[in-house]
Chain A
């Protein structure tokens, strides 16, 4: 009986990795018997932002693109990963892998966030902002609910207001409101993929996969964008998140910021990428902020364009906060299987607009 054939063939460690592991081993055993633990600041919390928002960010940045900007990792060479950032990300990977963030059948991953990303009215020089409080219930079966409570829209600056009015004198800013989007089983997919099991646990492989799935130019800066896209407000299992952190540790130019504060003033461990390439404006930076206790992503912020997001809560819950206001067609094609409920109670499903408005909040 060839039991071994049930497994893939033996593989060598990739040669660079073999040598690195050996040198690491020899360096470690040469250390004093009492090894010093890497000391990290002790602070709580975590967060994330939305993919479609990041598309808006990218769109703005594209308009302002000025070409390549040099990147320099903190303590690393411009061409290689930053050792300091890699050490912290690898530590965070081990923390996040142990978090109970996997909903079982009948359960939901609940994610609550606040964020403010620029939106654009007509010309790219006309920028508006609105704070979005968002709650997501992501079911183990792909069902769920997204609830957005958006604050009143305002101009980013006087110059933006002038530009908006010049482009369209009748422009009206939105007052905000709450909407609920309900999803039948298998219809809710947040993030670039809903097939987490297809992703490799090898961070080198994962970087390649993300480029295939998420698209965009094959640059380190875009790799950093992919990391955020796969992490924020998704139901990526903890093991996948751990691999995402390990993949981030491989990105040349990534910087360790140390302890930084998110928009709400909460301290966390920050890593950043000084954006480069065709999608970035000069001097732009994107930061991801992590909870040093749990490894969870708890904040994002950046400049060029300026944006922020704080992730307030992420936990597995047993139920949705109510029932869908209309029956949802259990087929996730052509909009079926999704019910959109606006502030005034209007319900739109894949089959059309329901004639009877229902309460906005379940």
Chain B
């Protein structure tokens, strides 16, 4: 039986690096994609992924509610996105030690796909960046990463009611800015799958 996030976090807090490695395996994809959707750059998202988990380890004294590891990581990621330069400075030396990795043999075939991703994300971000930052944070966590209101509140350290009102304002603003926003093909099952251990 797979250990729960709560078990893994408890072991991580006790200094078990392997347990922390399992948490990385479990949540890296969602954090990586969340960071990408915030910045529109795969390369930056990769560094941010490392920073989020390094920061999580640095703060491992933190006692979390059961099964709240992911929202807590999303909260760290949100701060990393907001303070990119400060985070990069703090963990610059660690990132310097990241070895260069050669592309997979079949990478050329994926190159176009990843480039298209960046263009699409940048186009969406051009619109979303017109939202106030506090509304953008809530919108990205609830509507794009699909955290529950409670988890988004935990990630951002605000009351649930605040999350609801900010999300409502963000959606209203987006409808004004672009009535067709988000009405393409649904993809939400992908997120659900990414959240599964």
Q: Do A and B come from one complex?
A: yes
Q: Footprint of B on A, CB under 8 Å?
A: 1-18, 20-22, 24-30, 35-38, 80-83, 86-88, 90-91, 94, 98, 200-205, 207-209, 239, 243, 246, 249-250, 252
- What would 20 A/B residue contacts be, using CB atoms closer than 8 Å? A8-B120, A9-B187, A9-B190, A21-B46, A21-B50, A22-B28, A25-B24, A25-B50, A26-B21, A29-B54, A30-B17, A38-B96, A88-B96, A94-B92, A202-B41, A205-B111, A208-B108, A250-B100, A250-B102, A250-B103
The reply to whether B116 and A81 contact each other, CB–CB distance below 8 Å, is no
A35 to B28, CA, bound (A): 24
The reply to whether A25 and B97 contact each other, CB–CB distance below 8 Å, is no
Q: Which of A5, A30, A88, A98 has the most CB of B within 10 A?
A: A5
Interface 9-mer from B71-79, B139-147, B157-165: B139-147
The reply to whether A204 and B194 contact each other, CB–CB distance below 8 Å, is no
Within 8 A of A (CB), among B1-29: 17, 20-21, 24-25, 28-29
Measured between beta carbons, the chain B residues less than 8 angstroms from A80 are: 100, 102
* Minimal beta-carbon separation of B87 from chain A (angstroms): 11
A50 to B97, CA, bound (A): 33
Interface 9-mer from B61-69, B129-137, B177-185: B177-185
Measured between beta carbons, the chain A residues less than 8 angstroms from B101 are: 16-17, 20, 250
The reply to whether B110 and A90 contact each other, CB–CB distance below 8 Å, is no
* Minimal beta-carbon separation of A143 from chain B (angstroms): 25
A94 to B21, CA, bound (A): 26
Measured between beta carbons, the chain B residues less than 8 angstroms from A6 are: 124, 181-182, 184
- Interface of B, secondary structure class, is helix
The reply to whether A83 and B99 contact each other, CB–CB distance below 8 Å, is yes
* Minimal beta-carbon separation of B94 from chain A (angstroms): 5
Within 8 A of A (CB), among B95-128: 95-104, 107-108, 110-111, 114-118, 120-121, 124
Measured between beta carbons, the chain A residues less than 8 angstroms from B110 are: 14
Measured between beta carbons, the chain A residues less than 8 angstroms from B100 are: 80-83, 86, 90, 249-250
The reply to whether A201 and B41 contact each other, CB–CB distance below 8 Å, is yes
Q: A1-B183, A13-B49 are in contact. List 4 more A-B contacts (CB 8 A).
A: A1-B143, A13-B46, A20-B99, A81-B99
The reply to whether A11 and B181 contact each other, CB–CB distance below 8 Å, is no
CB < 8 Å neighbour of B17 from A9, A29, A83, A98:
A29
Nearest residue (CB) in B for A33 is B58
Q: Given the known A-B contacts A24-B50, A28-B54, A208-B111, are A10 and B190 also in contact in the complex, defined by CB atoms under 8 Å?
A: yes
* Minimal beta-carbon separation of A209 from chain B (angstroms): 8
Within 8 A of A (CB), among B29-45: 29-30, 32-33, 36-37, 40-44
Nearest residue (CB) in B for A35 is B93
* Minimal beta-carbon separation of A202 from chain B (angstroms): 4
A44 to B105, CA, bound (A): 39
B173 at the A interface (CB under 8 A): no
* Minimal beta-carbon separation of A71 from chain B (angstroms): 15
Measured between beta carbons, the chain B residues less than 8 angstroms from A25 are: 20-21, 24, 50, 53-54, 57
Measured between beta carbons, the chain A residues less than 8 angstroms from B20 are: 25-26, 29
The reply to whether B44 and A3 contact each other, CB–CB distance below 8 Å, is no
CB < 8 Å neighbour of B139 from A3, A10, A246:
A3
The reply to whether B182 and A1 contact each other, CB–CB distance below 8 Å, is yes
Measured between beta carbons, the chain A residues less than 8 angstroms from B41 are: 201-202, 239
A87 to B56, CA, bound (A): 23
* Minimal beta-carbon separation of B12 from chain A (angstroms): 9
A239 to B146, CA, bound (A): 30
A6 to B177, CA, bound (A): 14
Measured between beta carbons, the chain A residues less than 8 angstroms from B36 are: 11
Q: Given the known A-B contacts A90-B95, A246-B43, are A200 and B115 also in contact in the complex, defined by CB atoms under 8 Å?
A: yes
Measured between beta carbons, the chain A residues less than 8 angstroms from B21 are: 22, 25-26
The reply to whether B28 and A11 contact each other, CB–CB distance below 8 Å, is no
Measured between beta carbons, the chain A residues less than 8 angstroms from B88 are: 94
* Minimal beta-carbon separation of A254 from chain B (angstroms): 9
The reply to whether B187 and A21 contact each other, CB–CB distance below 8 Å, is no
Q: Given the known A-B contacts A6-B182, A36-B93, are A26 and B50 also in contact in the complex, defined by CB atoms under 8 Å?
A: no
Measured between beta carbons, the chain B residues less than 8 angstroms from A27 are: 97
A199 to B144, CA, bound (A): 25
Measured between beta carbons, the chain B residues less than 8 angstroms from A10 are: 29-30, 33, 187, 190-191, 194
Nearest residue (CB) in A for B12 is A29
Measured between beta carbons, the chain B residues less than 8 angstroms from A94 are: 88, 92, 95
Measured between beta carbons, the chain A residues less than 8 angstroms from B54 are: 25, 28-29
* Minimal beta-carbon separation of B55 from chain A (angstroms): 11
* Minimal beta-carbon separation of A119 from chain B (angstroms): 37
Nearest residue (CB) in B for A93 is B43
